[in-house]
Structure 1
Amino acid sequence: MKKVEIFDPAMCCSTGVCGPGVDPELTRVASAVYSLEQKKFDITRFNLANEPGAFVDNEVVNKVLLEKGPDALPLILVNNEIVKVGAYPTNEELAEWLDVKAAELQEKPRVRVSLKFEK
């Protein structure tokens, strides 16, 4: 099975719904990653702000950052080989890399809310 790693720039969260505005690109990527995780694909995201060790420990990522700086992020690896630098993959690219249909990458996380009514 292929392993996909997404090395995000430093940000407060990977969903795109924090801060004063929603970033639709981050929301799309978060949804695609969630869909792939639900299908048991090996896909991981690393945030520079929260997991700097992952960037230092990975020789491929470390080399790109030393050469190009943080503008190289996001950096996408498939089986530890660079497939995209400086931009997030499209759903079509993820689908091609993992041999799935792009439509399968649009599953939205479901959240259950419990309501209690007091009289």
Structure 2
Amino acid sequence: MKKVEIFDPAMCCSTGVCGPSVDPDLTRVASAVYSLENKGFDIKRYQLTNDPDKFADNNKINRVLQEKGPDALPIVLVDGEIANVGGYPSNDELAEWFDTNPEELTEKPKVRLSINMNDLK
């Protein structure tokens, strides 16, 4: 099974729904990663702000950052090899890597709220 690691630039969240404008590419990638994780595939995202050790411990990521600077992010590794620099993989690429259909990568995280109507009185 393939292993995919996405090294994100520094940002406040991985979904793209924070701040004054929504980045549709980030929301697409967040949905795809969520769908793949739920299917048991080996895919991880690391943010420079939250996971600096993952960046520091990886020689390939370090080399790209030293050569190109932080504008090279995001960087995508597939089985430890650089697959993308400066952009996120398409859903077609993710589907190919994990041998699945691109249509299956659009599942959105569901949040459920439990409200007890008796507590509202």
TM-score by length of 2: 0.95
Partner residue of 2:113? 113
Give the residue type in structure 2 aligned to 1:84. N
1:34 aligns with 2:34: yes
Q: What is the RMSD of the two structures over their aligned residues, measured on CA atoms? A: 0.8
Q: Could you tell me how far apart the structure 1 residues matched to 2:89 and 2:26 are? A: 11
Q: Could you tell me how far apart the structure 2 residues matched to 1:112 and 1:47 are? A: 26
Q: CA shift at 1:116, angstroms?
A: 3.0
Secondary structure of 1:5's counterpart equals strand
Secondary structure of 2:84's counterpart equals strand
Partner residue of 1:96? 96
Partner residue of 1:25? 25
Partner residue of 1:85? 85
Q: CA shift at 1:110, angstroms?
A: 1.1
Q: Could you tell me how far apart the structure 1 residues matched to 2:56 and 2:24 are? A: 29
Q: Percent identity?
A: 68
Q: Could you tell me how far apart the structure 2 residues matched to 1:63 and 1:98 are? A: 27
Q: 5+ unaligned residues in a row in structure 1: which ranges?
A: none
Partner residue of 1:47? 47
Partner residue of 2:61? 61
Partner residue of 2:10? 10
Q: Could you tell me how far apart the structure 1 residues matched to 2:80 and 2:70 are? A: 19
Q: Which runs of 4+ in 1 moved over 3 A?
A: none
Q: Deviations over 1:63-105 (max 9, x none)?
A: 1111111111000000010111100111001111111110110
